Amino acid sequence: MVSRVEELTLKMISRMQSGDDNDDFDRDVSDNVIEAPAKPKLKKPPMYKVLLLNDDYTPMEFVVHILENFFLMSREKATQVMLAVHTTGSGVAGIYPQDIAETKSDQVNEYARENQHPLMSKIEMTD
Ligand code: TYC
């Protein structure tokens, strides 16, 4: 039994030897090619906000310290975000894939507790 690949190989050799043009051969070969899907089906991971919640007792300087050290903000940016949380009740410290957002939020809550401040953070899925 001659396989399809062998059949095409023999056809290619005879075409090459005879100097024929290769249009039919190209069509035969293209029938045997599995094309990649037009769009690779990779989904971007859902992103989560890490929110800081306001309270009446955590010192402003401690919140700024958190934003600088856990969320890598400049002093100026950290102060802006801290004041936004202070005046509105909550604010976004950062946006990350779920596992990173959970870890950051847990680290902030643990660090605040260790330092006897009531500061809390939580995560929320982005829209
Ligand atoms: N409201 C606090 C104060 O007046 C400051 C504060 C800001 C606390 C942001 C928590 O997430 C917070 N000292």
99 close to 77: Cβ distance less than 8 angstroms: no
Q: Sign of dihedral through CA atoms 89, 82, 60, 71?
A: positive
- Going from N- to C-terminal start, the domains of the chain cover 1-39, 47-125
Task: Report the pLDDT value the prediction gives residue 39, as an integer from 0 to 100.
Answer: 80
58 CB near ligand 1 (under 6 Å): yes
Q: Which fold has domain 47-125?
A: Ribosomal Protein L30; Chain: A, (3.30.1390)
50 CB near ligand 1 (under 6 Å): no
Predicted confidence band of residue 18 (pLDDT cuts 50, 70, 90): low
80 CB near ligand 1 (under 6 Å): no
Q: Give the distance (Å) from ligand 1 centre to CA of residue 101.
A: 21
58 close to 119: Cβ distance less than 8 angstroms: yes
Q: Tell me if the pTM is above 0.85.
A: no
Task: Report the pLDDT value the prediction gives residue 13, as an integer from 0 to 100.
Answer: 41
